[in-house]
Structure 1
Amino acid sequence: MVKTSRKKTATNFLSLASVELLNFLLPLITMPYLIMVLGVKNYGLNSFVQAVMQYFIIVTNYGFNISATQEISVNREDKEKVEQIYTNVMTCKVLLTLACFGILLLMMTFIPKMNQDPKLYLCMFGIVVGSVFLPVWFFQGMEEMASIGVLNFVSKSIFTVGLFIFVKSPADIYAVGILNSLGYLTIGVIATLIVRYKYGIHYRKPSKTGIISQFKSSWYLFLSTLATSVYNTTNIFVLGLVAGDTATGYFNLANTLIRVCASVATPIVQTFYPKVTQLIQTSKEDSLKLIQKIWLVVTVLFTLGCVILLVGSGPVLTWLFQDKFSHSVRLIQIMAFLPLMVAWSNVFGVMTMTTFGYQRELSRIYLVTGLISLVSIILLTVTFKETGTAVNAILIETIVTISMYLFLQKKGIQVPKGQLKERVK
């Protein structure tokens, strides 16, 4: 039984690691080509539109990627209960998608920058729709991450192959949006079929009380992710409005490389999150010891990676783009240790605070930091343009991580030591 569990954990980790490896390698292939063909300005515009879509994905995810994962993980042996959770969560996500589309139409009408090229936003909205029908939370809860790996490969392959076939000039920026949407929509359909025919889970008639319950139980997690977006997605959104598409292009190149490196933490956290969720039902001490081991691994891994980013970003960008993006090197160096902060915040926040029942307190940390970021991003970006945006990114992520650590210490949850004091609830 233990051997089977370890084998499943290893399989899940390798599946998610392959996803993140793909996420790491493909931007190194597609980004230089996109910048060369579209130009810095159109690349920046494309980044701005993607940032808008990311807002809507955050809204449609709502926090279900954590709350629904927990529910599925605990009830995975009860097919009827899993079917009920699946139905209610998917209904919530569809309702949120309709609301997002209405908001997009209003934004395209009243925001000058967005009403200049409304077709581009419509071309890319398929990303939001496709992500809704990709139930990552379901596969995570069932601890079947191999499906996520295969689907991600399909999506990235469609985009990458299509990019080199159909995108040949700056005017093909619409094709970039369509290809992005096509990749997400395709895997959304495939994922729905997998859930139905592999797992035998059907969409039933949703219950009003079930829908309301899902919205209520995920509310604080939604606030957390929404607040997080203030200092992630809003960086590009504000920069695009204040400094234009060219500055956005420079920053997004640096930010993409940094975020891709930070995403290496994802397979580690996603693989062990269901296990921590189950383990905490029987022993908080044992679950904390597992979290401590994970923290040690990400600390060593990311410290080394961040040093490489700091030292090696210059030669790599020069090799990829000659001197065209030398300005982005400075931005990468400013944000070099951001991946370590992201990894720590995943362990302290998602893996520890949510499993120990501190979702509300986690939301409060994100909300307060998000409010601070709203002020700092405007001040720093208006004053220093893309350099200020980079400073804001590392500053806010550091504040978030320190806040989580201090809160856990106050509650007697000492992650680095793997010790649990009596103050924990």
Structure 2
Amino acid sequence: MNKFIKNFVSVGFINAANAAPLITMPYLIHVIGIERFGSLSLATAFVAYFGIIIDYGFNLSAVREISINRSEPSRINHICATVFYVKIILVVACLLVFLCIVRALPYMWDMHTLYFLTFIAMLGQTFLPGWFFQGVEQMSAAVYLSAISRIIPSALTFFFVHSRDDYLWVPGLSAIAGAATVITAAILLRYKFDIRMTLPDARSIKQSFRGGWYLFLSQVNISLFSNSNSVILGVVSGPLAVGYFSSAEKIMRAIAFLGTPLTTVLFPHVARNIKANPSRMLKKLDGILLIAIALQIIVIAPIFFLADHIINLLYNSDVGASEILKIIIVVPIFIMVNNIYGVQVMLNTGFDKQYFGILLIAGVVNIPLCFLLSKFFSGLGTAISLLVIEFLIAFLMGFFVQKLKRSLD
């Protein structure tokens, strides 16, 4: 239990580090303007698709494999080596596609430096071995990496960004920090955990692709109602609308991140113990979910009623973003339900295919819904679409887990 608490505290610090860009956001909007901020958000959302492909669901599948095989060092080495080499293969493929798309679309080519720097910054985050530290339940080691990758570039933003034309420093600083973080991570893996990157055989690489297939597709589907919303809004209404939506969404995501320490440290623990006594573990997770939702409501309620003041205080903006915030501020509750019932229960009991199926339904519904609502209601429509889809996922996953409980009784 002491180890669990230590990891919980470590992930809490990592979560705080990941929220560091939220501190710089009001400054950025004030200095570079809401439209430039929207362009940054649009580039980030676009590049995130490639990040999802390169990650290939290893943030779940590799954690699960390492957690189950943590007593076998040779097996851990093999898993790590396979993950890294698969990522390298995917980087090459993604880079070729990325270059073709950016060159073919005039809007992106006009801002190609922004997109190239954002892509490089994404690579730094994608190659962070957070999945390894989570699997061996040594999250304290990841604290240093988060400090380098998030806190330092956010702090340096105040020193390098002073005018509208300095916006390229934002992805540039993240790219530099990402490179430094990957080098630091490689040193930690080699000298602290004795991980040696031996070349895996073709069979292992093929099995890695096959084993993570449904989790990868699930991550793709998640992007269809997260990153895609900003992209769709940008296509329909332009970067200014994306700027208003993103400024509200980042506050909502910060609230959702409050639950990340709990769900992160739970996953390897549940993976090791749920098969021994699934009914007991499900009851325990139900209790954890109720407590987590109650705590979220305590945080969410005042933000809802004070949304206008919060937006004005942070961004000196009009009420457009505050209305968006009022709509999506309850989304963290649905995200917590989705994580407990989907990630913790469904994935750790072998229902990867069913988990993917629910997310596929949500992704397919979201695309036309978001296009339609964004076209008529701009950012407000995008917010409504996000709320509806997250509720749909929570309902379907909750329904599936209730059926699973009855089958175990």
- Please give the range of the TM-score, normalised by the shorter of the 2 chains: over 0.9
SS at match of 1:41: helix
Corresponding residue for 1:9?
A: 4
The equivalences for 1:91-170 within 5 A come to 91-170=85-164
Question: In structure 2, what residue type is equivalent to 1:335?
Answer: I
Give the one of 363, 388, 394 matched to 1:370.
363
Contact 2:327 2:387 in 1 (8 A): yes
Question: In structure 1, what residue type is equivalent to 2:175?
Answer: S
SS at match of 1:231: coil
Question: In structure 1, what residue type is equivalent to 2:26?
Answer: P
Contact 2:29 2:315 in 1 (8 A): no
Contact 1:133 1:189 in 2 (8 A): no
Contact 1:221 1:363 in 2 (8 A): yes
SS at match of 1:199: coil
Cα distance, 1:290 vs structure 2: 2.8
Structure 2: runs of 5+ lacking an equivalent: none
Corresponding residue for 1:392?
A: 385
Deviation string, structure 1 residues 308-337 (Cα, Å, up to 9, x no partner): 221122222222233x24210000001121
Q: Is structure 2 residue 229 aligned with structure 1 residue 244?
A: no
Corresponding residue for 2:81?
A: 87
Corresponding residue for 2:343?
A: 350
Corresponding residue for 1:416?
A: none
Corresponding residue for 2:178?
A: 184
Give the one of 9, 14, 18 matched to 1:23.
18
Contact 2:279 2:408 in 1 (8 A): no
Contact 2:224 2:363 in 1 (8 A): yes
The equivalences for 1:36-55 within 5 A come to 36-55=30-49
Inter-partner Cα distance in structure 1 for 2:226 and 2:387: 10
Cα distance, 1:423 vs structure 2: 5.1
SS at match of 2:407: coil
Corresponding residue for 2:407?
A: 422
Contact 1:269 1:346 in 2 (8 A): yes
Q: Is structure 2 residue 397 aligned with structure 1 residue 404?
A: yes
Inter-partner Cα distance in structure 2 for 1:94 and 1:294: 38
Cα distance, 1:66 vs structure 2: 0.7
Deviation string, structure 1 residues 276-320 (Cα, Å, up to 9, x no partner): 111123221232233123212211111222212211222222222
Inter-partner Cα distance in structure 2 for 1:13 and 1:423: 30
Contact 2:303 2:310 in 1 (8 A): no
Corresponding residue for 1:61?
A: 55
Corresponding residue for 2:297?
A: 303
Q: Is structure 2 residue 306 aligned with structure 1 residue 312?
A: yes
SS at match of 1:144: coil
Deviation string, structure 1 residues 217-244 (Cα, Å, up to 9, x no partner): 1100111110010000001111112211
Question: In structure 1, what residue type is equivalent to 2:116?
Answer: L
Deviation string, structure 1 residues 64-114 (Cα, Å, up to 9, x no partner): 111110110011111110000011111111111111111111111222321
Cα distance, 1:140 vs structure 2: 0.5
Give me the identity figure in percent: 31
Contact 1:366 1:400 in 2 (8 A): yes
Contact 2:47 2:118 in 1 (8 A): yes
Q: Mark the CA change 1:279 to 1:123 in structure 2 (over 3 Å): closer, same or farther.
A: same
Contact 1:49 1:120 in 2 (8 A): yes
Inter-partner Cα distance in structure 1 for 2:46 and 2:292: 30
The equivalences for 1:303-342 within 5 A come to 303-322=297-316, 324-342=317-335
Inter-partner Cα distance in structure 2 for 1:352 and 1:166: 45
Cα distance, 1:59 vs structure 2: 1.0
Question: In structure 2, what residue type is equivalent to 1:393?
Answer: L
Inter-partner Cα distance in structure 2 for 1:46 and 1:28: 14
Question: In structure 2, what residue type is equivalent to 1:106?
Answer: C
Structure 1: runs of 5+ lacking an equivalent: 1-5, 414-420
Cα distance, 1:36 vs structure 2: 0.9
Contact 1:228 1:366 in 2 (8 A): yes
SS at match of 2:71: coil
Inter-partner Cα distance in structure 2 for 1:245 and 1:108: 17
Cα distance, 1:28 vs structure 2: 4.2
Deviates more, 1:289-298 or 1:387-396: 289-298
Deviation string, structure 1 residues 401-422 (Cα, Å, up to 9, x no partner): 10101111222x2xxxxxxx33
In the superposition, the TM-score normalised over structure 2's length comes to 0.97
SS at match of 2:306: helix
Question: In structure 2, what residue type is equivalent to 1:284?
Answer: P
Q: Mark the CA change 1:205 to 1:28 in structure 2 (over 3 Å): closer, same or farther.
A: closer
Deviation string, structure 1 residues 127-164 (Cα, Å, up to 9, x no partner): 22212321111110000111222211222222122211
Inter-partner Cα distance in structure 2 for 1:7 and 1:90: 31
